[in-house]
């Protein structure tokens, strides 16, 4: 039913999703296009532009066979029956909706490109996270251009084979978690397809997209609904996940004041089958490109609908996240009697979560910024975050001279801790649990401190070595060491 697919946007979502589709659909030609020649060159090289476990093997298995990366956007659009749009929709920074509404410029530009290039009806699939009813805007652009250009389906062989009488827009949101994206794509909990089941064209378009996923996804996991329901489901899913993180973080603050242990509380809560254990890991807060952006989008939608109480409710999730990282930073600073000038602090982890190089909205950025404001020297080690990206992120908050003088990006953890007064755990990389902290102890200023922002390490072992330890969700004064 579908022989050629075009994916507009070779970023995280587009690159991962289309690579997995090509892997499972060897008879379908999949072309991923982007305006960035550099990004496309990286996808065609041995070093991919993103790090994701398992992705490299998949790309190498199908690249050059039925998976292609190109900057020839017009050709890929013209030849495809089905087009995925996976472009960034960042939070708007100006005008009405500033700081809340999504900026739809990239999505609209992609839709107009499809409209201007197409010579036959297309199935256009929203992969980007969009506000409710964005599909109507895209459909209007496509069909207005079709009328203006005067083409119909009989002018193109692909259109004849597809049977579409007009272009159709479907919602097919992604539910990828960075670090496990390939696993999420290979074994999805569900696939949402939002479209118009009341029209012949809508049903045909839905079946075209559904037929692709049926190559490897059980039919029962493919959920078909209205476009609006699908669009809202994506925002709601991310809001619910972020809400769980903020909820457990709120409880962690109570634990620190009462002597309760957040690890015990999380285990008790998660053992309830009605709640479950996922996203109950206390930390210095959530990051990444999605949660904050999508909640702000939900807040804006609620405000536009005059649902102010709903808007306030969801905004409180973000406020709790800000409270969590702020109090963590205050805890670090207060332990040094508010005097950090010239003191070297080792930062373990800069990506927003483990198993990704992505630093967008990382809590480590905010921790480093707070320490830089106190004139500390920050020595950063992360297994995957790129040094130039670390510098770029910090330059967004600090002057270049501050970054030049007070920031050191290290290639090893041992380099970072040498002469440091403290280690701050900002990302839950597994390797941090298995490092030689005895060796770190001898390299650090005394008394050395560890601030565990991910409740990751064995605090008792660290204390036996001689570290002073502070952790999210744990009152360390209540820890009693065996034999002490």
286 belongs to an annotated ligand binding site: yes
60 belongs to an annotated ligand binding site: no
Only one residue has tokens 């702000």, namely: 296
91 belongs to an annotated ligand binding site: yes
Closest CA to 85 of 61, 59, 112, 67: 112
400 belongs to an annotated ligand binding site: no
Residue 8, CA distances (Å) to 1, 111, 141, 215, 400 in order: 21, 10, 16, 22, 35
Burial class (CB in 10 A: 0-12, 13-18, 19+), 186: middle
308 belongs to an annotated ligand binding site: no
128 belongs to an annotated ligand binding site: yes
53 belongs to an annotated ligand binding site: no
* Phi, psi (degrees; rounded to nearest 5) at 31: -120, 120
| Among 6, 16, 255, 290, the one annotated catalytic | 290
255 is catalytic: no
159 vs 165: CA distance, rounded Å: 8
Edge-to-edge strand order for the sheet containing 222-225? 67-70, 29-33, 4-8, 82-85, 123-126, 168-171, 191-194, 222-225
296 vs 158: CA distance, rounded Å: 40
397 belongs to an annotated ligand binding site: no
220 belongs to an annotated ligand binding site: no
148 belongs to an annotated ligand binding site: no
Q: Is there a contact between 378 and 405 (Cβ–Cβ < 8 Å)?
A: no
As a whole number of angstroms, the longest Cα–Cα distance in the chain is 85
235 belongs to an annotated ligand binding site: yes
46 belongs to an annotated ligand binding site: no
84 belongs to an annotated ligand binding site: no
Burial class (CB in 10 A: 0-12, 13-18, 19+), 344: buried
Tokens representing 231 are 């669009």
Beta-strand (E) ranges in 366-464? Answer: 377-381, 407-409, 422-425, 449-452
209 belongs to an annotated ligand binding site: no
Residue 154 has what DSSP assignment?
Answer: G
125 belongs to an annotated ligand binding site: no
Residue 68, CA distances (Å) to 24, 32, 113, 214 in order: 15, 6, 20, 22
102 belongs to an annotated ligand binding site: no
290 belongs to an annotated ligand binding site: yes
Residue positions forming the annotated binding site: 9-14, 34, 87-91, 128-129, 174-178, 234-238, 274, 281-287, 290-293, 352-353, 360, 454
Residue positions forming the annotated binding site for substrate: 174-178, 234-238, 274, 281-287, 352-353, 454
Active site residues: 290
Residue positions forming the annotated binding site for NAD(+): 9-14, 34, 87-91, 128-129, 178, 290-293, 360
């Amino acid at each position: 039913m579908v022989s050629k697919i075009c994916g507009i946007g070779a970023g995280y979502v587009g690159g991962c999703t289309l690579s997995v589709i090509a892997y499972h659909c060897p008879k379908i030609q999949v072309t991923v296009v982007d305006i960035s020649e550099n990004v496309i060159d990286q996808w065609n090289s041995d070093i991919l532009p993103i790090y994701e476990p398992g992705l490299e093997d998949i790309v190498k298995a199908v690249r050059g066979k039925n998976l292609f990366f190109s900057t020839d956007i017009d050709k890929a659009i013209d030849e495809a029956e089905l087009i995925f749009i996976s472009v960034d929709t960042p939070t708007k920074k100006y005008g009405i909706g500033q700081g809340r509404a999504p900026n739809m410029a990239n999505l609209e530009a992609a839709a107009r490109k499809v409209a201007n290039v197409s010579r036959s009806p297309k199935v256009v699939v929203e992969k980007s996270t969009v506000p409710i009813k964005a599909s109507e805007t895209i459909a209007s652009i496509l069909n207005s251009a079709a009328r203006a250009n005067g083409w119909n389906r009989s002018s193109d062989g692909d259109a004849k084979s597809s049977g579409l009488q007009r272009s159709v827009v479907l919602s097919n949101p992604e539910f990828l978690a960075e670090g496990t994206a390939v696993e999420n794509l290979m074994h999805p909990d569900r696939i949402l397809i939002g479209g118009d089941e009341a029209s012949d064209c809508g049903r045909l378009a839905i079946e075209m997209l559904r037929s692709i996923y049926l190559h490897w996804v059980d039919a029962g996991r493919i959920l078909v609904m209205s476009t609006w329901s699908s669009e809202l489901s994506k925002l709601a899913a991310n809001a619910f996940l972020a809400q769980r993180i903020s909820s457990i973080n709120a409880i962690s603050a109570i634990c620190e004041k009462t002597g309760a242990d957040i690890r015990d509380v999380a285990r008790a809560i998660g053992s309830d089958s009605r709640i479950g254990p996922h996203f109950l890991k206390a930390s210095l807060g959530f990051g990444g490109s999605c949660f904050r952006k999508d909640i702000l989008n939900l807040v804006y939608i609620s405000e536009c609908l005059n649902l102010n109480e709903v808007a306030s409710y969801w905004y409180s999730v973000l406020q709790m996240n800000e409270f969590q990282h702020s109090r963590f930073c205050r805890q670090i600073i207060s332990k040094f009697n508010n005097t950090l000038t010239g003191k070297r602090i080792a930062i373990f982890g800069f990506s927003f979560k483990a198993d990704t190089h992505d630093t967008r909205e990382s809590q480590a950025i905010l921790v480093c910024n707070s320490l830089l404001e106190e004139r500390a020297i920050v020595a950063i080690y992360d297994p995957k975050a790129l040094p130039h990206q670390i510098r770029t992120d910090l330059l967004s908050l600090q002057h270049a001279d501050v970054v030049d003088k007070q920031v050191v990006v290290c290639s090893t953890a041992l380099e970072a801790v040498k002469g440091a007064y403290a280690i701050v755990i900002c990302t839950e990389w597994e390797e941090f649990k298995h490092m030689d902290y005895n060796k770190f102890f001898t390299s650090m200023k005394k008394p050395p401190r560890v601030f565990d922002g991910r409740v990751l390490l064995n605090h008792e072992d660290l204390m036996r070595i001689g570290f002073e330890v502070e952790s999210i969700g744990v009152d360390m004064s209540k820890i009693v060491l065996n034999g002490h």
